[in-house]
Structure 1
Amino acid sequence: MKELLKRLTSAYGPSGNEEEIREVIREEIKGYVDEIRVDTLGNLIAVKRGNGSKVMLAAHMDQIGLIVTYIDDRGFLRFAPVGGLGVTDLVDRKVRFKNGTVGVVSYENEIKEIKDVTINNMYIDIGASSREDALSMVKIGDVAVYYTPFGENRGKCTSCAMDDRAACALLIETIRNLKDSPHEIYFVFTVQEELGLRGATTAAYAIEPYAAVAVDVTDTGDTPKSVPMAVKLGAGPAIKVFDNSVMVHPAMKNIMVDEAEKLGIPYQLEVLKHGGTDSGAIALSRNGVPTGALSIPCRYIHSDSEMVDISDIEKGVRLLTGMLHDGIRL
């Protein structure tokens, strides 16, 4: 799992530019599914054929990024966020572009207090000496992502892009472990989740699943003086009840809880007061889809150093594999 997480988080794949991470995932799952295809928007759809009802499993493969909007005469890059980025998560962080160009994010020297920093007075420094020099390395519209080495201590892994490559790893391992199911299963690695659940919206519309589960990361409440939340690292995957995008279908929540208890898998219940996941888009597709959500506890979401516990992912694999093997009956 550690090596899989390292490969996935090292791949470039901001929203709208998921080609590289898509090919990494394709290589990880080929031979374990009956069909792999890419739809019009760019979602990677892997199918395990069967005669039963369709079940959709979704994890988004895109990551947040910075898109270049302007290059000044001295070669400094102005940018806009691609997805939800906070100023404090950006200051003095290293980023890289698809072609390997590396830069550092900083802000104008005349700003004296960090509270006064906004995206509008920040820039990316790629070491260029002029606008022409910068243009030889990057172009307007190029997107940079966090550039952080992967690290692991006692099963806790830290890297950029754990949101949502940790969930992609969970689905990949579920694909490898699932031997049979009464369902026809669609594993969808979605695009552009960070821009508004776009890939999940089109994929769910096309697939028309009987039921679905979205897998993503979620906040924790286990760091010093954190906002109280009943989720912590290492205590098992979190079964979502509610977030800003979805009120989880009660039958799906109960199926997941029952499966966890049957298999003796520790789990947590998640109520997220902000944010959303692909589950929100899938649940509202066509006439509505009974949708559950499984979350991986993650510290420092949308920073350059997101932290997860491998054991939470592994327990999530067991839970999903068991549920799909036993079948979802609503």
Structure 2
Amino acid sequence: MFEMLKRLMETDGISGDESEVRDLIMKEIRKHVDEVTVDSIGNLIAHKKGDTPRVMLTAHMDEIGLMVKGVDSDGAIIFSRVGGIESLTLIGQRVKIKAGKEPVYGVITTAEISNGDMTDSMPRSLDMYIDTGLSKEELLKKDVKVGSFISLQQEIGMFADNSVVYGRALDDRIGCYVLMEIAKLSKKTESDTYYVFTVQEEIGLYGAKTSTYKIKPDLAVAVDVTNAEDKGVKIQSNILGKGPCITLKDSGMITNRCINDWLTDIAKQKNIPIQYDVGDKGTTDALSISLSREGVPATVVGIAVRNIHSTIGMASMKDVENAIKLLEEFIKNPPKVCIT
């Protein structure tokens, strides 16, 4: 299980540059579905044919990252954030700049840190730059230019007796992995099922918007990550290892109660641990899906991740396994009663 997830996490796929992730998923999933297509915005749509209802499961391929904004005369690379990455986690991070024939590597720093000065205030991303050890002329020769994508380089591995995975891009390669496993396990389904791997979720939920319009699903579930609130808080929620989280509310939507109740019933019948997520920050592809055409009943199954939207996250493999079990049963017996 871990090896496939690791391959997904290792593959660069910043919003707007998801092709390498898409190619990897396509290679693995095409033997488990009837049809695979890529739409004009870059979404990967894997279709397993069946009867009604038409069910759409989504996970976004893109990850947060950076983009080259300019190169100073001394070779310092100024960057812009792609997605909501936490600035305080960037200092000292090793990065890979997508350039010409070969990538260029560097480290994020500030003038104060580079000069050995101590600072009492937290630097903003606007005050940071990337040091590659190369001059401006050398960088230009290597085709580092405005618009080049910059990915965060982090070790990926397991700890806590191999029960916790850590690394970059858990958001949302975990969701991609869950969908791939369900497609593999679901040999025969009642529903007409679409596994949709979307683009540009981190900057505006764009891939979900166009793919939903095309597919016209009767029901949808977005598989994403959610913020673990199980350390340093008075009331714990979204606890690692306690099961996937069914989102009831986030900052953008109230999810479909009928689908949530159906998932809850499945969990009870199959003894699958679940949690409920009432969030105040962030939203998912489910928002765009729910507002397509005349509206689509939609919800979110989330995997709790610590240090979400930072350079390195942590998640429980037990939660991943239970999300797969839950959604595999959902596909076998989708809730026709929830179709409006």
Counterpart of 2:13 in structure 1 is: 13
1:213 aligned residue (211, 216, 221): 221
The reply on whether 1:146 has 2:149 as its aligned counterpart is no
Please give the alpha-carbon distance, in whole angstroms, between the structure 2 residues aligned to 1:37 and 1:136: 37
Counterpart of 1:2 in structure 2 is: 2
The reply on whether 1:120 has 2:123 as its aligned counterpart is no
Distance apart, 1:53 and its partner CA? 2.2
Q: Could you tell me which runs of 5 or more consecutive residues in structure 1 were left unpaired when the two chains were aligned.
A: none
Please give the alpha-carbon distance, in whole angstroms, between the structure 1 residues aligned to 2:13 and 2:111: 28
Q: Could you tell me which runs of 5 or more consecutive residues in structure 2 were left unpaired when the two chains were aligned.
A: none
Counterpart of 2:109 in structure 1 is: 106
Distance apart, 1:229 and its partner CA? 4.3
Please give the alpha-carbon distance, in whole angstroms, between the structure 2 residues aligned to 1:97 and 1:120: 18
Distance apart, 1:139 and its partner CA? 1.4
SS of the equivalent of 2:40 reads coil
**Over aligned residues, Cα RMSD in angstroms?**
1.4
TM-score (structure 1 length as normaliser): 0.96
* Cα deviation code 1:201-260 (max 9, x no counterpart): 11111111000000100111212x247442110011111100012200110111111111
Distance apart, 1:136 and its partner CA? 2.4
SS of the equivalent of 1:194 reads coil
SS of the equivalent of 1:115 reads coil
Larger mean Cα displacement after TM superposition, 225-234 or 248-257: 225-234
Percent identity of the aligned residues?
38
* Cα deviation code 1:148-179 (max 9, x no counterpart): 12110121010100000011111111111112
2:197 aligned residue (166, 173, 189): 189
Q: What is the letter of the counterpart of residue 51 of structure 2? A: N
1:328 aligned residue (318, 325, 335): 335
8 Å contact from structure 1 (residues 164, 216) kept in 2: yes
- Where in structure 1 do 4 or more consecutive aligned residues deviate above 6 Å? none
Report 1:236-315 matches (<5 A): 236-315=243-322
Distance apart, 1:317 and its partner CA? 0.4
* Cα deviation code 1:78-118 (max 9, x no counterpart): 01100002221111111112343211111121885363411
The reply on whether 1:82 has 2:87 as its aligned counterpart is no
Please give the alpha-carbon distance, in whole angstroms, between the structure 2 residues aligned to 1:174 and 1:9: 18
Please give the alpha-carbon distance, in whole angstroms, between the structure 1 residues aligned to 2:141 and 2:284: 38
Q: 1:233 to 1:126 in 2, by over 3 A?
A: same
Counterpart of 1:25 in structure 2 is: 25
Q: What is the letter of the counterpart of residue 201 of structure 2? A: E
Q: What is the letter of the counterpart of residue 170 of structure 2? A: M
Larger mean Cα displacement after TM superposition, 209-218 or 91-100: 91-100
Q: 1:215 to 1:73 in 2, by over 3 A?
A: same
TM-score (structure 2 length as normaliser): 0.94
SS of the equivalent of 1:172 reads helix
Q: What is the letter of the counterpart of residue 93 of structure 1? A: Q
8 Å contact from structure 1 (residues 221, 227) kept in 2: no
Please give the alpha-carbon distance, in whole angstroms, between the structure 1 residues aligned to 2:267 and 2:141: 54
Please give the alpha-carbon distance, in whole angstroms, between the structure 2 residues aligned to 1:198 and 1:183: 25
